[in-house]
Structures are given as C-alpha cells and as structure tokens.
C-alpha cells in the first residue's frame, strides 16, 4: 500500500468516484473499505483529483465518505509454477480455495494467494555466476505436470544483468531466492520462482515475431481442411445461442496440436462453466493419457462478481498465455464469449457518460478488441526455441446477426472466421460451421487447389438446392441434380463429424488427406447415371459406405475392406475422373 488515500464521493452501479490526495495512475488497484471488508477496484479514469474506479465486487453498502486505499500497483497476474490445473476467477483467485473460506455462496472481499507458498518444487539451475541475462531469460526450471516450467527473469527488468549467485538444485517454495543478479550499477536483485506482471501490458521479451504459417491441427476435418487455424494466429466463432460454440471449443481444446489450453469463460452462462469445470478433469488427454486438466487453466467469473470482472478475466488469461509462450510452449487461448466482455465495456462506458458508438457500444470497441487479438503470435525466443499463443474467441450476436458491431470488429482483426448458423445447428450438423460464409487466411492440411475444386462443387450444389426449393426437383436437369447430390455427399461424409465416436471424433492429418483424395475422386468424376433416381440411389449408397468408413480404425483390415467396397461401387457406375480432378490428384501423389 502507498500513503495515497481517498474517499468515495459518488457511486453509480459498480463504478465509484473517489476524491484522492496524492499521486495515482491509470489501471492502479485500490481497495474500498466497507463494512469491515476491502473491495478491490481499478482506476479507469482520472479527472483532476477525482478518479473513477470499476469495482470487481458488488458495491452494495458503499457510501459517500468511505475510505479508499491505493496500492501503487497496476492490476497484475502472479506468474510462476503451479498455474496449470487451476480454476481462477478473473482476479486470479483460486475458486476452490475461495469456496473453502467463504462457503457455498462466495463472500465479497475474499482474496486468496494465486499460487501456493508451501508447495516445494524441484529446482534445477541453468545459469552460473558471471553469466549475463535479460528480461524473459531462463535462470532455471522446475517440473510442472508434463512440462518443464522455466523460471524467468521478470519481464519488467530492463537492461542487462549479471548473475552473482545461484541457488543449488533442490526443493524450494516459490518465494525462496533462486538467484541474485546485479545491474550495471551493481544494484542487487533477488529472483524467486514467481513475479507479477500487469495484465494489460503485452509481453514482448522475444527475439522476433514471425508470421503464423504452421497449421494448428484440431483434428476436425472441416476446420483443418477448409478453414484452418495457424499456430500463433487468431480466429473467431460467432453464432447464435445453442449453435455449438462451446462444444467446438471443448473439442478443439482436447485435440488441438498445442501444449497448454487456457479457457477464459469471460461471460459464459453458469451452467456451461460448471460443465467445463466438471468435465475437464475427467477428460482423457490423448497426448499423455492423463487428465486433460493437467495442462489446462480455467479462468471464469463467478455469479457474485459484476460484469466488470469479465474484462479482468480476458486480460488475465492472455497474460498467462504469453507467460507460457515465453518458455517455448504453444498455447491455445479460448475466450467464451467476447460479446459479454463487449457488453461490460458498453455498461462501463455508459456510466462514464462517454459518447456512444454503434448500438451504444463505446467508440473505442474496435481498438480494444484488436489489442486483445494482437497479443496472439508466433515468436522466436532468444535461446532459439519457438513459442506461440493462438487466440480463438466466440461471439454471441443476438439472433445470429453477423452484422452487429462486436462481430464486425472481430472480423477485421482475426485470420479465420468460423461462422455457425442456426440452420445447420437445428439440422444436427456438427460442427455447424457454414461452409459458404466462413473463411480462413491460413494454410490447411490439404493443398488449396484441391480445396478450391471441392468448394466450387459444393457451392454449385447449394445453388441447385436453392433452385429446387422454387421449381421443384422435376424442374432440374439430371446434371444439376448430380451436383446437388455431390454437395450433399461432401457435407455428410467430410464436413460433418461425430464427436461421440472414438475414431471419428479426432482425425489425423494423414487420414484427412487420404480421405479427402477419395472424396475428391467422387466429386470430380462422371458416372453412368441414367436419371435422377439412379443418381440418388448411387450417391446414397456411396455416402453410407464413406460414413461407415469414417468410423473404422485407420489402416486396419476392416478399413481396407470397406475401402475396397467403395472402389467397387465407384467402378460399377463406370466412374471416370474429369481432367481437372485427375490433374489435382496426380499432383498430390
């Protein structure tokens, strides 16, 4: 705490106006003393000697004249070993420990240490006296779950430092001194296993920021092949309520080709948050065979916290992601749902009496959203290793309207757009990503010319389907009807996936390429089909064989038997590859 004090002079919802005497700064943390409790808040505007603070607790009982104590510290996250497997609120309070102290209904003003001060970690130093280090460099490591957790020089240490002392290998707590370093003036600094970092300040201790080009494999065919995401890239999943945004995030978090998953439930409904907290410890990590929770961090808001805490949870989660990236790990951050965060910004903007933008959102909404997604990235660290933060945010536009401000602001900055539709969701198509409206700027697991060919076939089939709704099937030519059947075939056997089937739930890159070539051969072939009935019969048969094929273990005897049945059915209708499809398949060999 500093000597700066203040007193409450106004209350408007969870915004409190404070008259202060001394020096304070933007984003500084302060506590309001009310009814024997200290309620945490953050300075969001300063006008003369009056500061507006957003309080991260219910403000009931606060009255004019209540004392406010300023800490002199910015809203920060505590970084160190022990973060993995935790369930935090937006202020990085471990919710299970808070519940132990506060009971079933969480009391306000209860703050618990983010990391245990008693757990001992097996320390192994990696520097020696006389070595020089910079901020973000590793001075040693401890094992944390399946990873090696590097102990880093705090990110706020500017300049070059010389290692004076190093603690020998052994078991220590996070507050024990691991090394002593000196700056150019000879001033000594003791380094422990943990340090704090302001959550609204991006971590930039890497050597170089690189363009995201490596595909982040999710093992979901529609995403990896048609709308891929890159490691270090960004993507958004907008869609109406109940369209499957949370399910896609859960599937991605389990199967994505990343080291660590951070889930920021910055505005999700309580039932789904509880489901996440209960399910993740029980989910089996396909990489390690252990609980998925061992490489996951969940940050969510409790029902007793006002909407302002949604903003804190967003920034806390991305700060933790950047911290693990600095260790050379690949991190996936899933924010669900950023619409709630935007609504919190709108609420606070209204209380600050700012000039509103479109739909009463603040005029700076786009810059806030852009600043959040820009903290993603693929980086090269000074030791030559690489790390990444990939950010995927869901958006919940009212009625599935993608033209609303939050969705549009997000689309301007992300690299991939996975738009969910009510129509596909109601048809029980998973994932319910619209193959026409969605897009991606990244490279997928299948070469683009093949994807473009199949996409054109699908689009033409959809156009035929729309036409048939007007003129009927009898008003459609057999050629057009075949395009419609091909588009339905592609939709059912490749776009859709069964997340409850052990085999089909997660499809490897090798299998995706192999299956796609088979699908492409069907899409790019002419068949001996006399009329619409024969076309319908053939495509229904081959579609079912492909669906059965998807559920069979890769490269097993049954897999090859079913493939032979597909080839035989293909040959029975004298399937002949078109020139363009033949060239694409030949180039892919």
Question: Domain extents for the chain?
Answer: 5-74, 79-114+206-440, 121-193, 448-587
CB atoms within 10 A of CB 557: 9
Distance CA 280, CA 288 (A): 14
pLDDT, mean of residues 170-191:
96
Residue 500 has which token pair? 């409850």
Mean pLDDT over 557-586 rounds to 94
pLDDT beyond 90 at 291? no
Q: Does 301 have pLDDT greater than 90?
A: no
CATH (one of 3.40.50.720, 2.40.50.140, 1.10.1140.10, 3.40.190.10) for 448-587 = 1.10.1140.10
Largest CA distance in the chain: 89
Cβ contacts of residue 5 below 8 Å, gap of 6+?
20, 21, 22, 67, 68, 69, 70
pLDDT at 444: 95
Q: Per the annotation, does 356 bind a ligand?
A: no
Residue 239 CB-density burial (10 A; 0-12 exposed, 13-18 middle, 19+ buried): buried
Rama region for 391: left / alpha / beta (φ>0; ψ in -120 to 50; rest): beta
Is the pLDDT assigned to residue 573 strictly greater than 60? yes
pLDDT over 80 (residue 272)? no
User: For the CA atoms of 354, 358, 359, 360, what is the dihedral angle to 10 degrees?
Assistant: 0
**Continuous segment of H or E residues that includes residue 180:** strand 179-182
Tokens matching residue 155: 């990110």
> CB 316: neighbour CB atoms within 10 A?
27
242: annotated binding-site residue?
yes
Ranges 91-100, 518-527, 555-564, 568-577: which has the least confidence: 91-100
Give the pLDDT score at 4.
87
CA separation for the pair 96, 110 (Å, rounded): 12
Give CA–CA dist 147/328, Å, rounded: 11
User: What is the rounded distance in angstroms from the CA atom of residue 160 to the CA atom of residue 184?
Assistant: 7
Q: pLDDT tens digit string along 41-57? A: 999 999 999 999 999 88
Most confident range, picked from 2-16, 284-298, 454-468: 454-468
In angstroms, the CA 409 to CA 104 distance is 39
Instruction: State how far the Cα of 413 lies from the Cα of 430, in Å rounded to an integer.
Output: 26
3-state secondary structure of 563: helix
Domains 5-74 and 79-114+206-440 share a fold: no
| Residue 451's pLDDT band (cuts 50, 70, 90) | very high
Q: What is the pLDDT of residue 349?
A: 92
274 pLDDT above the threshold of 90 = no
Per-residue pLDDT, averaged over 343-364, amounts to: 92
The response to whether 444 counts as a known ligand-binding position is no
- Cross-strand partners of 208: 380
The DSSP string of 115-149 is S-SS--EEEEE---TT-EE-TT-EEEEEEETTEEE
Asked whether residue 561 is marked as a ligand-binding residue, the answer is no
What is the model's pLDDT at position 282?
75
43-92: pLDDT as tens digits: 999 999 999 999 988 888 999 999 999 999 999 999 999 999 999 988 89
CATH of 79-114+206-440, one of 3.40.50.300, 1.20.210.10, 1.10.10.10, 3.40.50.2300: 3.40.50.300
Q: What count of other Cβ atoms lies within 10 Å of the Cβ of residue 356? A: 13
What pLDDT is attached to residue 442? 97
Q: Distance (Å, rounded) from C-alpha 313 to C-alpha 492?
A: 38
Q: What is the pLDDT of residues 354-407, one digit of tens each?
A: 999 999 999 999 999 999 999 999 999 999 999 999 999 999 888 788 899 999
Cβ neighbours of residue 382 closer than 8 Å, sequence gap 6 or more: 134, 136, 137, 206, 207
Residue 205 — very low, low, confident or very high, per pLDDT cuts 50/70/90?
Answer: very high
Give the C-alpha distances (Å, rounded to integers) separating 118 from 86, 115, 280, 294: 16, 9, 26, 20
Using CA atoms of 501, 504, 508, 510 in order, give the dihedral in degrees to the nearest 10.
150
> Which 3 state secondary structure label does DSSP give 336?
coil
Q: pTM for the whole thing?
A: 0.94
Residue 400: predicted pLDDT: 80
pLDDT at 156 over 90: yes
Q: Phi then psi for 49, rounded to 5 degrees?
A: -105, 20
| Percent share of the chain, pLDDT over 90 | 77
- Tell me the pairing of strands 330-335 and 260-265: parallel
Residue closest to 58 by CA, chosen among 225, 308, 243: 308
* CA dihedral of 97, 103, 105, 110, whole degrees rounded to 10: -50
Structure tokens at 306: 């006002």
Q: What is the pLDDT of residue 250?
A: 83
Lowest-confidence pick of 78-87, 180-189, 306-315? 306-315
What secondary structure does DSSP assign to 34-94, as a single string?
Answer: ETTEEEEEEEEEEETTEEEEEESS--TT--TT-EEEEEEEESEEEESTT-TT-EE-TT--B
pLDDT band at 106 (very low <50, low <70, confident <90, very high): confident
Say if residue 243 carries a ligand binding annotation.
yes
Mean per-residue pLDDT, 457-482: 93
24: tokens are 């304070």
241 annotated to bind ligand: yes
Give the model's pLDDT for residue 399: 77
Q: Which of 110, 20, 108 is nearest to 59 (CA)?
A: 108
- pLDDT(588) > 60: no
Is the bond preceding residue 314 a cis peptide, omega within 30 degrees? Answer: no
Q: Is the pLDDT of residue 589 over 60?
A: no
- Mean pLDDT, rounded, of the chain: 92
- Yes or no: say if 245 and 337 are a contact pair by the CB < 8 Å rule: yes
What are 494's two structure tokens? 């490749």
pLDDT of the residue at 240: 87
Among 2.60.200.20, 2.40.50.100, 3.40.50.2300, 2.60.120.20, what is the CATH number of 121-193?
2.40.50.100
Q: Where are the beta strands (DSSP E) in 496-542?
A: 525-526
Considering just the CA atoms, what is the radius of gyration of the chain in Å?
28
Question: CA of 189: how far to CAs of 2, 154, 180, 183, in Å?
Answer: 22, 11, 6, 8
Q: Is the confidence at residue 104, as pLDDT, over 70? A: no
CATH number of 5-74: 2.40.30.20
pLDDT of residue 241: 82
Whether 303 shows a pLDDT value over 70: the answer reads no
Both tokens of 399, joined, read 């009625």
pLDDT tens, residue by residue, 210-241: 999 999 999 999 999 999 999 999 999 998 88
- Which pairs with CB-CB distance under 8 Å and at least 24 residues apart come from 138-143? 138/327, 138/383, 139/163, 139/166, 139/178, 139/179, 139/191, 140/166, 140/178, 140/179, 142/81, 142/193
Q: Is 29 in contact with 9 (CB distance < 8 Å)?
A: no
pLDDT given at position 374: 96
Token pair of 525 as six digits: 């072939």
């Amino acid at each position: 705490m500093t000597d700066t004090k203040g007193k409450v002079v106004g209350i408007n919802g969870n915004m409190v106006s404070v008259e202060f005497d001394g020096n304070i700064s933007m984003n500084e943390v302060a506590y309001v003393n009310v009814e024997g409790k200290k309620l945490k808040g953050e300075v969001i505007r300063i006008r003369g000697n009056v500061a507006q603070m957003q309080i991260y607790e219910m403000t009931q009982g606060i009255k004019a004249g209540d004392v406010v104590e300023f800490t002199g510290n910015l809203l920060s996250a505590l970084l160190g070993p022990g973060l993995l497997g935790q369930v935090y609120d937006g202020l990085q309070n471990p919710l299970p420990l808070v519940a132990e102290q506060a009971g079933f209904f969480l009391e306000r003003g209860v703050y618990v240490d983010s990391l245990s001060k008693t757990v001992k970690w097996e320390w192994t130093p990696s520097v020696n006296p006389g070595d020089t280090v910079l901020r973000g460099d590793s001075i040693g490591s401890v094992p944390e779950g399946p990873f090696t957790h590097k102990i880093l020089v705090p990110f706020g240490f500017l300049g070059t430092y010389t290692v004076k002392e190093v603690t020998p290998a052994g078991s220590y707590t996070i507050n024990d001194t691991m090394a002593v370093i000196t700056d150019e003036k000879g001033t000594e600094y003791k380094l422990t296993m943990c340090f704090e970092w302001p959550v609204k300040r991006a971590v930039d201790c890497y050597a170089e920021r690189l363009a995201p080009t490596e595909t982040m494999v999710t093992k979901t065919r529609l995403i990896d092949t048609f709308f891929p995401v890159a490691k270090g890239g960004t993507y958004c999943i907008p869609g109406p309520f109940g369209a499957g945004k949370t399910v896609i995030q859960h599937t991605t978090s389990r199967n994505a080709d990343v080291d660590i998953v951070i889930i920021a439930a910055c505005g999700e409904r309580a039932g789904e948050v509880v489901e996440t907290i209960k399910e993740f410890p029980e989910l089996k990590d396909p990489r390690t065979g252990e609980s998925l929770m061992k490489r996951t961090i969940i940050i969510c808001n409790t029902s007793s916290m006002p909407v302002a805490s949604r903003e804190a949870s967003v920034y806390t989660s991305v700060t933790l992601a950047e911290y693990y990236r600095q260790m050379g790990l690949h991190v996936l951050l899933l924010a669900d749902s950023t619409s709630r965060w935007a609504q919190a910004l709108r609420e606070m903007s209204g209380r600050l009496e700012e000039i509103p933008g479109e739909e009463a959102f603040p005029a700076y909404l786009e810059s806030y959203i852009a600043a959040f997604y820009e903290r993603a990235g693929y980086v090269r660290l000074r030791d030559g290793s690489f790390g990444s933060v990939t950010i995927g945010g869901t958006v919940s536009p009212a009625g599935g309207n993608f033209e609303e401000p939050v969705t549009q602001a997000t689309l301007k900055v992300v690299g991939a757009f996975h738009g969910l539709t009510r129509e596909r969701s109601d048809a029980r198509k998973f994932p319910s990503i619209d193959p026409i409206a969605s897009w991606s700027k990244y490279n997928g697991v299948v070469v683009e010319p093949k994807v473009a060919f199949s996409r054109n076939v699908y689009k033409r089939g959809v156009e035929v389907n729309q036409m048939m709704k007007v003129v009927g099937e009898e008003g459609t030519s057999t050629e057009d009807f075949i395009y419609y059947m091909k588009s339905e075939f592609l939709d059912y056997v490749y776009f859709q996936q069964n997340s409850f089937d052990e085999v089909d739930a997660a499809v490897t890159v090798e299998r995706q390429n192999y299956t796609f070539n088979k699908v492409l051969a069907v899409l790019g072939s002419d068949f001996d089909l006399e009329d619409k009935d024969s076309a319908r019969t053939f495509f229904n048969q081959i579609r079912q064989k492909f669906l059965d094929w998807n559920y069979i273990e890769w490269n097993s005897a049954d897999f090859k038997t079913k493939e032979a049945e597909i080839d035989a059915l293909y040959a029975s209708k004298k399937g002949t590859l078109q020139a363009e499809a033949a060239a694409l398949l030949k180039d892919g060999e």
